[in-house]
Structure 1
Amino acid sequence: MYMCIKSSILFSIVIVGISAETIDYDYETAKNLTSDYCYIKSYNEAPAIVKKCTHIVVTGFEVPAGKTLELNLLQHSVLLFEGTLTFGVAHWAGPFIYITGQNIQVIGGTNHLIHGGGEKYWDGLGGSGVKKPERVFFMNAQVATVKNINIKNCPLFCVSVLGHDLTFSGINIDNTDGFANGLARNTDGITFAQCKNVVLENSKIINQDDGVNILGGCSNVYVRNVHCWGSHGLSVTSGMATTAAKNDVYNVTFEDCSNGGSFVGIHVKTTQPCLGPGSFKQITYKNIQISEVTRSAIEIQQDYPKNDGNSANTMKIIGVDLINVTGSVKTTSARKVRINCGSGSCSNFKWSNVKITGSTTADSCNYHPSGYSC
């Protein structure tokens, strides 16, 4: 699923080009840096503490319904999560947590949990049903590390990211409960928009929409050792903005990742209608394992979301490389590959060792990559 993100309240994270000022602590080291941690034990304590403290612990408590836990951190802050954080039920836009800052670290303790309470909202209709808080974890940061964050039962989108020079590591999103009766939908895992110099690594996502989604305006994004289940793809999506600067996506790599039990395995998509110009350049998927896909193991389309073959060519897709992409689809009716490009808008796709089994349905391609016959 694609979504519009307001830059005023985004969550961002990156590793490429991290400033030398940033130090990457584990939880125990961070906890022992000082005995002067300030503890946020209730929602009302947060505003005063973030204004005066640079070493902060968020403990377990309930955030009142319809309220955002805003953590506008001072420079060089270290923020730790401990205990279980929950949120009162209200039908509003969210987000539940909003974090900003420069040169900061956000670290989850071993037994901490951010529980979104999605089971109290899910109705099988996702964004089209009752109003649901759209983001559990929303962050706007420049030069930061975020690690070992546990999130459960997102009502809708889980994590949204905007910013630069950030590292995202050890993120665990568990929306397993949402598979019961198909009630959870549009629970996008981690979404990056208008960001640059990002690494997402060593993470696990169980959800019911895009597992990882790179949106327009992103460049130099590296996703490695991330494993998704139930999602709609390891995705790159754009076309929702009116300018090339906000639609362009450049130099994105997914490496050593897996996606199983999903709707689509690898998903590169521009919208139709496409609101403005732009391009995808240097998109790479390397060492990707796909399993139990129900629609397409690999789908590159410019007719999203209707999937009707009426593709736009306002945006260009230049250079989509697939290297060692293997696995299987769940049913014989699922396709191995679908490529539906606008007239003249796709070029320079180079594929090698792409092997998907389990389908008796022919590939559907109006553009043909080198190294693969479809």
Structure 2
Amino acid sequence: MKFLSTVLAAFALIAATANGSPMLRMEAEGKSKSQQQTQQSSTSSSACNLSGTYKAGTDISSCSSVTIGSLTVPAGVTLDLSKAKSGATITFTGTTTFGTQKWADPLVLLGGSNLSVKGSGTLDGQGAWYWKQGQSIARPVFFRLQNVASSTLSGFTLKNSPFRTFSLVTTRTALT
């Protein structure tokens, strides 16, 4: 029941912020690669930091804590947190913005057991770009939880969902 109230609160928050900020695309702004931030990840230790521009294939499997600061995820790329170490803490501290593209994969993919996903950060799915194009286009699910067990999600804000906010696939035991 606690999970249901959390999901309902998330949906209410999404509805309240449906007219959020405009789309932020590096290419649309005309920034060159040298002007774009690069992702900073210290995945060799147990504490990892992600900021700048996310790179597909970033390995967080050895990280006991992952801090996600201000991060831009390029269009057509999933922020892949599916190989999180068991018991890891994932903390959103900045604004994570997703590039826009017609596709059906999730913007965020989370997997693992005994995870704590939290923080004061904001994830912006750039929904307005999708909404203007009608309902017949391919749209990403915002946050897919796949093979998640005994984990907690709290505190961070999801806004401007392109399609469904949460997708639960093969989740087990307590999820709050």
**Counterparts in 2 of 1:1-374, with a 5 A limit?**
37-41=47-51, 42-44=53-55, 47-48=58-59, 50-71=60-81, 72-109=83-120, 112-123=121-132, 125-126=134-135, 129-133=136-140, 135-140=141-146, 141-162=148-169, 163-168=171-176
Q: 1:53-75 CA deviation, whole Å, 9 max, x = no partner?
A: 11110111110110111112011
Q: Structure 2 CA distance, aligned partners of 1:125 and 1:142?
A: 35
Deviation at 1:52, TM superposition (A): 1.8
Q: Structure 2 CA distance, aligned partners of 1:59 and 1:76?
A: 20
Give 1 or 2 for the bigger CA radius of gyration: 1
Q: Structure 2 CA distance, aligned partners of 1:164 and 1:97?
A: 19
Q: Report the secondary structure of 1:61's partner residue.
A: strand
1:14 touches 1:164 (CA, 8 Å); kept in 2? no
Give the TM-score normalised by structure 1: 0.33
Q: Structure 2 CA distance, aligned partners of 1:65 and 1:76?
A: 30
Cα 1:87–1:118 change in 2 (3 A) is same
Q: Structure 2 CA distance, aligned partners of 1:117 and 1:123?
A: 11
Deviation at 1:167, TM superposition (A): 3.4
Letter in 1 for 2:125: G
Q: Structure 1 CA distance, aligned partners of 2:48 and 2:134?
A: 41
Q: Structure 1 CA distance, aligned partners of 2:79 and 2:62?
A: 17
Q: Structure 2 CA distance, aligned partners of 1:146 and 1:166?
A: 11
Q: 1:322-360 CA deviation, whole Å, 9 max, x = no partner?
A: xxxxxxxxxxxxxxxxxxxxxxxxxxxxxxxxxxxxxxx
Give the structure with the larger strand fraction.
1
What stretches of structure 1 move > 6 A for 4+ residues in a row?
Answer: none
Deviation at 1:124, TM superposition (A): 6.9
Deviation at 1:137, TM superposition (A): 0.8
RMSD of Structure 2 on Structure 1 (CA): 2.3
1:266 aligned partner: none
Q: Structure 2 CA distance, aligned partners of 1:56 and 1:93?
A: 26
Deviation at 1:147, TM superposition (A): 0.9
Q: Report the secondary structure of 1:60's partner residue.
A: strand
1:46 touches 1:69 (CA, 8 Å); kept in 2? no
Q: Give ranges in structure 1 of 5+ residues lacking alignment.
A: 1-12, 16-35, 169-374
Q: Structure 2 CA distance, aligned partners of 1:167 and 1:113?
A: 21
Letter in 1 for 2:137: V
1:142 touches 1:164 (CA, 8 Å); kept in 2? yes
Letter in 1 for 2:156: I
1:14 touches 1:144 (CA, 8 Å); kept in 2? no
Deviation at 1:82, TM superposition (A): 1.1
Q: Structure 2 CA distance, aligned partners of 1:73 and 1:14?
A: 21
Letter in 2 for 1:56: V
